Amino acid sequence: MAELHFFTGTMDSGKSTLALQTNHNHAARGRVGRIFTTHDRAGEAKLSSRLGLTHDALEVEQDFDFWTYVVSSLTAGGRIDYLICDEAQFYSRGQIDQLAKIVDELQIDCFAFGILTDFRGLMFEGSARLVELADRVHTLQVEALCWCGKRATHNARTENGVMVTEGEVIVVGDVEKIDEPPADVAYEVLCRQHHRRRLTAARAKAVSLAPEPLPFG
Ligand SMILES: Nc1ncnc2c1ncn2[C@@H]1O[C@H](COP(=O)(O)OP(=O)(O)O)[C@@H](O)[C@H]1O
Ligand SMILES: Cc1cn([C@H]2C[C@H](O)[C@@H](COP(=O)(O)O)O2)c(=O)[nH]c1=O
């Protein structure tokens, strides 16, 4: 039986790497797939991993219809055994419904990859629908870590090094590099407590370096 899988984890937890590995393993056994993504950091119609692998992909635009695409391909004599869907958090609710229909009605496996929550800690539309519909939800095994050493569960957005909680939901960007100056927009993975307290690595460092308050009186 075909299944709808949702692989989720914070930014930088290895989702795109796993997407490419999954494609490789299926293709190596002669199965034929299609790779989809949207808003990848590497640019349009690319699926890229921080480990250096990149693969051409089909870009999922807002009005893209998975069901129509797959049915047209099959009708034209094409073969599709599985779909790889990266950055699935950005897909619409309707597009996730189409993926579920493809799994059920056409017996095509679907492997979707994405982050669960946005920089405010709220579920993305695509991820929420995947949690509702997926046959299996897998949490990535490789744990991204908060600066405190705890498992990171949240994706914070920073603007010039300062954590923000308001703004557009979709802003393509990378995780902050510790040895580089703060980017205009970047992300940092944090544990819940430090996300709640808005305590990024830079702020924690600044606070710990701040002089002790003068004794009262
Ligand atoms: N130089 C490196 N050496 C080893 N592993 C690395 C290196 N750079 C990145 N990684 C691994 O790649 C992961 C990020 O992979 P990626 O597929 O881009 O993540 P995601 O799609 O979840 O954002 C990191 O969690 C880390 O495990
Ligand atoms: C939290 C959050 C992230 N994004 C963007 C930033 C990146 O371009 C992608 C996540 O990619 P990754 O492969 O998982 O690292 O999503 C966003 O647009 N809005 C957010 O709130």
pLDDT band at 15 (very low <50, low <70, confident <90, very high): very high
Q: CA-CA distance, 4 to 82, in Å (whole number)?
A: 10
Reply yes or no on whether the pLDDT at 27 is more than 60. yes
The parent domain of residue 168 ranges over 154-209
Please work out, in degrees rounded to the nearest 5, the angle formed at the alpha carbon of residue 188 by the alpha carbons of 204 and 134: 135
Q: Provide φ and ψ at 15, rounded to 5°.
A: -65, -45
DSSP state of 10: S
CB-ligand 1 contact for 49 (6 Å cutoff): yes
CA of 217 to the centre of ligand 2 (A): 49
**Is residue 87 annotated as part of the catalytic site, yes or no?**
yes
Rounded average pLDDT over 129-145: 96
The answer to whether residues 177 and 123 belong to one domain is no
Residue 50 to residues 39, 42, 212: CA-CA distances in angstroms? 15, 10, 40
Domain identity same for 85 and 178: no
Task: At 14, give phi and psi (nearest 5°).
Answer: 100, 20
37-46 pLDDT per residue, tens: 999 999 999 9
How many domains would you assign to the chain? 2
Cβ–ligand 1 contact at 13 (below 6 Å):
yes
**Residue of the nearest CA to atom 2 in ligand 1?**
51
Do residues 44 and 101 share a domain?
A: yes
Query: How far does CA 40 lie from the centroid of its chain?
Result: 10
The atom number, within ligand 1, closest to the CA of 113 reads 21
In a domain, residue 148? The reply is no
